[in-house]
Amino acid sequence: MSPDVLAQDQAAELRRLVAQRARTAPARPATARVVAVTSGKGGVGKTNLAVNLAVAAARFGKKVALVDLDLGLANADVVLGVTARATIAHVLSGRLSVFDALTPAHGLLLLAGASGTESHANLPAAERERLRDAFGRLAERADLVVLDTGAGISRGVVEFAAAADEAVVVTTPEPTALVDAYAAVKLISREPDAARLRLVGNQAADRAEADRASAGIVSVARRFLQADVDRLGYVLRDPAVGRAVMSRAPFVVAEPRSAAAECVRNLAARMCGAEARPGGFVERVFRLLRRGA
């Protein structure tokens, strides 16, 4: 037998084995925990928190996917310091599978956002189905999926945050941010089967200031919404955050000894200890995507 024929036979055998393994390998259940980082007021630090939490969790050994769901002004790629090879728009249009659209960076996989994409409620049926399929595939491969949502309390933001396992509501100590964070908590908590609500006090001068801000929301939510909100923690106001953005690297990488990096590692450690809730994000997203149909 000539070497060419032998090589062809071997390649055919290999393909057959791979195909067989794909058919017989048990599907990994969709167990990824999904954490949506959201807020009421814009500009409070969601993207910086989502990116740095995701990188810190990846450094703790988790398989992490970061999805930029900010449909207005997507910029997680910029904070992560990468040029995205593709965006969620390629996945929605069916041009790429979600795995071909992911960009690796700092130990995680980024599905970059596409500014100007339609909210899921307005997506045509085929695109909704592709979005659901993309989340299903990500959830099968990752341990943790971090969503960076857009600012504000539009239906799309609230529904995705509520469908997550945890909705991390970011606020600063400013009264305007607190009022808007409470509004976000209220809307998310009213969704059926809503995510566990957790607060992060960002840009606090010290721990006491962050605690005071979060304590107010926790007690008002309990009293008026009968909603349990817990405090995930805080991140100090730190010039290292702005410096890292300017140097186009996450601050946990560019400034690992900074106060902000230490705070985020604490949050990530706390977050990585929790479990996914039963039911599954993909099923919940499917329900809400059907609702928009």
Ligand X SMILES: Nc1ncnc2c1ncn2[C@@H]1O[C@H](COP(=O)(O)OP(=O)(O)OP(=O)(O)O)[C@@H](O)[C@H]1O
Binding site for ligand X (CB under 6 A): 39, 42-48, 70, 73, 151, 202-203, 235, 237-238, 241-242, 245, 260
Nearer to Mg ion, 47 or 189 (CB): 47
Nearer to ligand X, 46 or 132 (CB): 46
From the list 28, 27, 34, 29, the residue with the least C-alpha distance to 276 is: 34
Residue 269 binding: pick among Mg ion, ligand X, none (C-beta 5-8 Å cut-off by kind): none
Residue 175 binding: pick among Mg ion, ligand X, none (C-beta 5-8 Å cut-off by kind): none
Nearer to ligand X, 91 or 263 (CB): 263
Nearer to ligand X, 45 or 280 (CB): 45
Residue 19 binding: pick among Mg ion, ligand X, none (C-beta 5-8 Å cut-off by kind): none
Residue 113 binding: pick among ligand X, Mg ion, none (C-beta 5-8 Å cut-off by kind): none
| Total residues interacting with Mg ion, rule: CB under 5 A | 2
Name which of residues 30 to 59 contact Mg ion (CB under 5 A): 46-47
Nearer to ligand X, 79 or 96 (CB): 79
Nearest-angstrom CA–CA distance, 97 and 101: 6
Shortest Cβ 24–ligand X spacing (Å): 44
Residue 172 binding: pick among ligand X, Mg ion, none (C-beta 5-8 Å cut-off by kind): none
Residue 137 binding: pick among Mg ion, ligand X, none (C-beta 5-8 Å cut-off by kind): none
Shortest Cβ 136–Mg ion spacing (Å): 25
Nearest-angstrom CA–CA distance, 28 and 154: 33
Shortest Cβ 141–ligand X spacing (Å): 26
Shortest Cβ 275–ligand X spacing (Å): 27
Nearer to ligand X, 9 or 174 (CB): 174
Q: What is the DSSP string of the chain?
A: --HHHHHHHHHHHHHHHHHHHHHHSPPPP---EEEEEE-SSTTSSHHHHHHHHHHHHHHTT--EEEEE--SSS--HHHHHT---S-BHHHHHTTSS-HHHH-EEETTEEEEB--TTPPPGGG--HHHHHHHHHHHHHHHHH-SEEEEEPPSS--HHHHHHHHHSSEEEEEE-SSHHHHHHHHHHHHHHHHSTTPPEEEEEEEEESSHHHHHHHHHHHHHHIIIII---EEEEEEEE--HHHHHHHHTTS-HHHH-TTSHHHHHHHHHHHHHHTS-PPTT-HHHHHHHHHHHT-
Shortest Cβ 202–ligand X spacing (Å): 5
Residues that bind Mg ion (CB under 5 A): 46-47
